[in-house]
Structure 1
């Protein structure tokens, strides 16, 4: 049976579209809370004891009932400020490239209508409103490669949103809609989270608007390498609250209904695990994107990993090094022409202190470097072959892919 070029295109399109569906929308406590404007000037808040919520007895209009608990209260506070973001973009059509092969053209004829070189790809994600005048925060991968998106509020109103900035390094993006007197979220604090505390996620997973899931904080300070996205520069919050495609960009809340993180569905194979960008990181990046349109990240140019006796033995054997300590943060690699290379750091150095602060994990080093500014000089104390040495490294700007 001889297939026409159009029939082949239909069959191949079904395969390609089925495999790429939802690409845009997936990938992936302080008692006092802050507004977005206030948090712009907040760096690190002091730790406080976590608050364990009690159920709120009695729904409105139902004396003595038990229909409203802290989860419902949190959702009632934040739900109106959570939005759906629909994005469209043009992507290269692989079918078109494949059918340019002269051998295939011989089989299906030269007179068939050519396949378009581009196709429209649609995706859905989530976001939340930071300010009453229409400043929104979402994930970078939700709005990647597009300048405008459709923003739908919980009350049904729809606006055209302008993408003002995207930072792929942290997976944070900001959008502006023309509106006033909008509901907003309250920003909490993620610096003192403890595994086991409540975590509430709101978003639009799989196109199901305003879906609420609940779980606990499973872990904090998960490095990008641990999560499986080494190209990112984030210490993630890990939660077992269900985060599915479409949840990306939605808020992760504490028991008081304050935003402590930005959900990001960055691991398609994650089952029972979700990850969120800490709100301090997201708010700082959002502020820079709103004011400058881009973000410069400090960059040293080292590959790090947490050290253990077995890992020390393995690295020494594989790289012919002489690492002495059994614990700490070991430099596995140093990029050529990087600030670290110019500053004198070498593979096998075990980082002990940065600017006088003891470093025990790669996450601590990453967080300290990320909190500095491009051009800052960092004093890094290392153990090199059993001897303590200090080096001054001036950070550069993270190289963006062109």
Structure 2
């Protein structure tokens, strides 16, 4: 291919000379064609070196090597703070035993009746592993984070296994009532920890690293990927229970069963998410809880020993152009207080009921924070405190009202 292209250009140069054009013009054309030859040859070799694939962007081998080194550094630095969490509990098992030993012999069996050869089962209790997940240490005295569904097992004991193979009995300190998040404590000091990053600064396409106890068998498995999406909502199932999870990070970093509770890290080695779920009927679609959602809960556990969330007590729909048109509403944004036959719009006995809120009210703002599709009612309320007095601006029957209420605590 290279030879044919060169011969073609040489013939063109000879033709230019035969035309006896102005010397300056000839030199210019020759220069252009020689440059084209050099570019064509270089392009051909570049194409071949790329394995027949055209390179995307201007990523050099040096830049790719630098990013690889970042990932390697994150894995080496972070893995000691990532742990496996194993749940065990006493399970009843039955041992089958034949009373008559001759019944198992084909020859002697014919001389005994079925009742004489009936086996008996003896119930016994055995301690068995019932699940395995991941977690990571956030405080050097052994405070660690995992998913709620990893430790939401009745009458189970939990063991934390660190990267060096040491085992520690773990105490469940708190389970988050809103998010798939829990905190555990192991005894000791001087544990390696992971710093918490800022998930609010994440960008789609950003490189991330996931570490965890893949399949409950391969501890400290490292996978690399990208932030594929933000603010995802899913229905996550675990056993016989399911829950809706909001504002999740979507990633194509491999997240397998057993990775639940492990960290999702940026290339600075900061935790920006807690790996929590995968899409069962797809490949490379995993989800993580943004770390910003649980920072307040971590502080609460550290100071109060439990997790609490403020509670308003209304059911609502955020106003969209479609809802505005369907309900003939006079405002463009806000939260429309609405329920159904089974679920009242205002929960009886709630702070909202005590403040006089009604079905059909539109909550426009809380403490001056306007409610929008990006900043909905739940997000604003979660940023407040239990027992805090807040002023609500609402629209009712063409009037603006501003009641004040005291936020309760969500059960």
Normalised by the size of structure 2, how large is the TM-score?
Answer: 0.66
CA 1:386–1:85 in 2, change beyond 3 Å: closer, same or farther?
Answer: same
Q: Distance in 2 between matches of 1:165 and 1:87?
A: 16
What is the match of residue 398 of structure 1? 410
Cα deviation, 1:279-324, whole Å, max 9, x if unaligned, reads 233232133234433222111122233332323455x3xxxxx533
Counterpart pick for 2:384 among 350, 372, 376 = 372
Counterpart pick for 2:139 among 125, 128, 131 = 131
Q: What pairs with 1:3-402 in structure 2 (closer than 5 Å)? A: 68-89=68-89, 113=121, 122-144=130-152, 145-146=154-155, 148-207=157-216, 208-222=218-232, 226-228=233-235, 235-265=247-277, 272-313=284-325, 316=327, 323-333=329-339, 334=345, 335-361=347-373, 363-399=375-411
Kindly state the Cα deviation for residue 160 of structure 1 after the two structures are TM-superposed. 1.9
What is the match of residue 37 of structure 1? none
Q: Distance in 1 between matches of 2:318 and 2:140?
A: 43
Q: Distance in 2 between matches of 1:79 and 1:357?
A: 40
Q: What is the SS of the residue equivalent to 1:265?
A: strand
Higher relative contact order (CA 8 A, sep 6+): 1
Q: What are the ranges of 5 or more consecutive residues in structure 2 without an aligned counterpart?
A: 1-58, 94-117, 237-241, 340-344
Question: As a proportion of its length, which structure holds more strand?
Answer: 2
Q: How many residues align?
A: 316
Cα deviation, 1:7-66, whole Å, max 9, x if unaligned, reads xxxxxxxxxxxxxxxxxxxxxxxxxxxxxxxxxxxxxxxxxxxxxxx999599xxxxx76
Deviates more, 1:296-305 or 1:357-366: 357-366
Q: Distance in 2 between matches of 1:167 and 1:159?
A: 23
Query: RMSD value over aligned CA atoms?
Result: 3.5
Kindly state the Cα deviation for residue 357 of structure 1 after the two structures are TM-superposed. 1.6
Runs of 4+ in 1 over 6 A off after TM superposition: 114-119
Q: What is the SS of the residue equivalent to 1:185?
A: coil
CA 1:270–1:351 in 2, change beyond 3 Å: closer, same or farther?
Answer: farther
Kindly state the Cα deviation for residue 146 of structure 1 after the two structures are TM-superposed. 4.8
Kindly state the Cα deviation for residue 232 of structure 1 after the two structures are TM-superposed. 6.2
Structure number with greater Rg is 2
Q: Distance in 2 between matches of 1:112 and 1:246?
A: 38
Kindly state the Cα deviation for residue 396 of structure 1 after the two structures are TM-superposed. 0.9
Q: What are the ranges of 5 or more consecutive residues in structure 1 without an aligned counterpart?
A: 1-53, 60-64, 94-109, 317-321
CA 1:153–1:119 in 2, change beyond 3 Å: closer, same or farther?
Answer: closer
Kindly state the Cα deviation for residue 91 of structure 1 after the two structures are TM-superposed. 7.9
Cα deviation, 1:319-372, whole Å, max 9, x if unaligned, reads xxx533344433333222222222222333333221112221275432221121
What is the match of residue 113 of structure 2? none
Normalised by the size of structure 1, how large is the TM-score?
Answer: 0.67
Q: What is the SS of the residue equivalent to 2:160?
A: strand
Q: What is the SS of the residue equivalent to 1:204?
A: strand
